[in-house]
Chains A and B, each alone.
Chain A
Amino acid sequence: MTTFFDEVQEIRKRYPAGARSATLPALRLAQEKHGWLSREAIEETADALEVTPAFCYSVASFYDMFHLEPVGRHTIEICTNLPCALCGAQKVVEAFESALGISAGETTADGEVTLRAVECLGGCGYATVVAVDHRYRQNVKAEDAAEIVEGLDA
């Protein structure tokens, strides 16, 4: 079994020696492993990259896709940027909020689902775009929310 450390060393080899380019891939890997970038996850990443935890934290906190707080096992991310917004994204947000019983930005009490409004996902022609566990659902309407929530595997 390859360890996290070994996997990171493999990633590092794709880039010139001494470069820190493996930082983002390594943080992503750590996040997949731990669910979010906990203190331990960051320390483990720093060790494998031979950098300080502070450096990893600094980088991770810059990017929206890294979670420095625990998130649900599933994520539902709704684009609310202009093109989607002009086509009714707010109704979609509200539909998910009531389907899940939480506000955007929160995680269900059982720790299963995190709901977020996010910036433009690059599917503007197919509003509203909702990323369900990072897979895009397009042309989502408010009435689709319940079904999407149902469809999350348990």
Chain B
Amino acid sequence: MPEQKVLLAGTDKHDLTKLAEYQAIGGYGKGLERARAMTSEELIDELQRATLRGRGGAGFPMGRKASLIDRKSSKPKYLVVNADESEPGAFKDRQVMAEVPHRLIEGCLIAAHAIESTSVFIYIRGEYLTEYEILQGAVDEARAAGLFGGVEITVHRGAGAYICGEETALLESLEGKRGQPRPRPPFPPIQGLYYAPTQINNVCTIATVPTILTIGAEEFAKTGVPSSPGTAIFSISGNVVRPGNYELPLGTPMRELIYEHAGGIANGRELKAVIPGGSSVPALTPDQIDVPLDYDSLGAIGTFFGAASLIVVDDRCCMVQLALRSTKFYAHESCGKCTPCRVGTRWMVQILESIENGTATRADLDLLDSVGDNILGKVLCALGEFAVYPVASYLHKWRDEFVAHVEQGGCPFHGSSSLEGILAPSDQHAHAEVLV
């Protein structure tokens, strides 16, 4: 299947960061007009019929979420766009903001109308400076052109914390606090930003909305698979020939993405593993890659669609090193609020380190499993689980390699692993030393 550009439509021939060019291809046109002519109920109904599933990770239908907003509340309603994209492997939201910022803005205006909101916040990760400038420029241009219709859009920059992609941590951060998740219930549609009803969606989710309104829910639903209609931008990275973003209909086979679009495994190496949804999900073995890329198909084989971001790993990589580097990331990003994640991820790092350097025993492999189990399902938000899912999959699917470390008293790759010696930020962070 060739690429099918919906979110990125028009980017081949136009500079869509410019308002005029975006309008020239129909932007802020029929879709926005149709939406504004509808009542809130009608609009939410249209979105529900499109079954647009959230692109941020959990795949919850966007229209359903809008229908949960407590519209009777006397408080203002807020729309918050999650542009914190920090999942290792994901870089699709960034391209949308850099290349089609107006499509995102138009999506905001439509979604705000659906939930009767006049106040939109786009929370963009702090590292995305260029993208922020482009997006802010587009917001200013669209506002100046009088397209906002009483809505205000504020672009709010994060400051470097992966956890702020978690929706309630994002809200805390947007409220000016430490980005630590809130317990749920109450869920954001009832009590979100500033204690008011709040809709939170990923950049790609919102940027898909103008297309739905332009072509209609039924037409939209013809692409992709019935349970997950539409297209998604897939980020593919790691050991492939042509890494990058590819917008494809949901349901495209993973093999096609890896071997056709991305050109297969680089340097003539063998495929060893694919982490299909960003680094937080269980990895797949080479025999599992015929799976269609959609929420339910991936779920059926025990992994997640996640952030539609594939990390392709070739045979040079030591899976223990992969696990260790991954866990160091999640431990470093743990917000520190809940016990299992704060303590468990650090403990996992210690166990993995000892496996890698050959001081572990077989009992430590079971301990690693058990520590993971004590995190899964007991944490305040999913970050702790994101640390465990991939590692548990490496441990079970590549168990021989873990056992080999234990039995040979060290890494069987003898320094030749592609991750050999990789430095993690947590090993050099200044603030770690200050207080210890």
Which A residues are closer than 8 A to B by beta carbons?
Answer: 14-16, 19-25, 27-28, 58-59, 61-69, 80-83, 85-90, 93, 103-105, 116-127, 131, 134-136
Contacts and interface: CB of A to CB of B under 8 A. Distances in A.
B205 interface: no
Interface in B179-223: 179, 194
B89 A14 contact: no
Contacts of A87: 238-239
Contact of A90 (B173, B422, B431): B422
A119 B159 contact: no
B160 A59 contact: no
A28 B160 CA distance: 12
Interface string B392-436: 000000000000000000000000001111111101111100100
Greatest chain B CB density within 10 A among A22, A59, A64, A69 is at A64
B237 A83 contact: yes
Interface stretch (B124-132, B138-146, B347-355, B368-376): B124-132
Contacts of B244: 125-126
B423 A65 contact: no
Interface in B272-329: 275, 279, 309, 311, 313-314, 317, 322, 325-326, 329
Contact of A14 (B154, B238, B279, B430): B154
Contact of B89 (A67, A68, A124): A124
Contacts of A15: 154
Interface stretch (B53-61, B80-88, B252-260): B80-88
A97 to B, nearest CB: 9
B317 A86 contact: yes
B270 interface: no
Nearest to B236: A125
Contacts of A23: 176-177
A150 to B, nearest CB: 22
Contacts of A63: 126, 158-161, 179
Contacts of B5: none
Given A68-B434, A80-B424, A22 B333 contact: no
Contacts of A103: 428
Q: How large is the interface on B (under 10, 10 to 19, 20 to 34, 35 or more residues)?
A: 35 or more
Contact of A122 (B125, B194, B317, B434): B125
B112 interface: no
A86 B159 contact: no
A63 B160 CA distance: 5
B194 A127 contact: no
Given A59-B177, A81-B329, A85-B418, 8 more contacts: A20-B176, A22-B176, A64-B425, A65-B126, A66-B159, A104-B428, A125-B235, A136-B130
Contacts of A85: 325, 418-419, 422
A16 B88 CA distance: 33
Interface in B350-370: none
Given A19-B175, A27-B159, A131-B127, A124 B237 contact: yes
A121 B293 CA distance: 24
Contact of A127 (B87, B157, B243): B243
A90 B423 contact: yes
B398 to A, nearest CB: 15
Which residue, of A16, A23, A120, has the highest number of chain B Cβ atoms within 10 A? A120
Contact of B173 (A24, A64, A93): A24
13 contacts: A24-B157, A24-B173, A63-B126, A64-B160, A66-B159, A80-B425, A83-B238, A116-B428, A122-B91, A123-B91, A124-B91, A124-B237, A131-B127
Contacts of B91: 122-126
B342 interface: no
A148 B247 CA distance: 33
A14 B427 CA distance: 38
B245 interface: yes
A73 B375 CA distance: 41
B90 interface: yes
A82 B421 contact: no
Given A21-B176, A124-B243, A134 B127 contact: yes
Given A24-B156, A63-B160, A68-B431, A118 B237 contact: no
A89 B88 contact: no
A33 to B, nearest CB: 16
B313 to A, nearest CB: 6
Contacts of B156: 21, 24-25
Ranked nearest first, the 3 interchain pairs of A and B with the lowest CB-CB distance are A105-B428, A23-B176, A64-B160
B160 A61 contact: no
B359 to A, nearest CB: 23
A88 B93 CA distance: 24
B429 A105 contact: yes
A124 B317 CA distance: 17
Nearest to B85: A122
Contact of B129 (A20, A68, A81, A134): A134
Contacts of B159: 24, 27-28, 63-66
Interface in B18-32: none
Given A19-B175, A82-B88, A83-B88, A104 B160 contact: no
Nearest to B174: A21
B156 to A, nearest CB: 7
A124 B422 contact: no
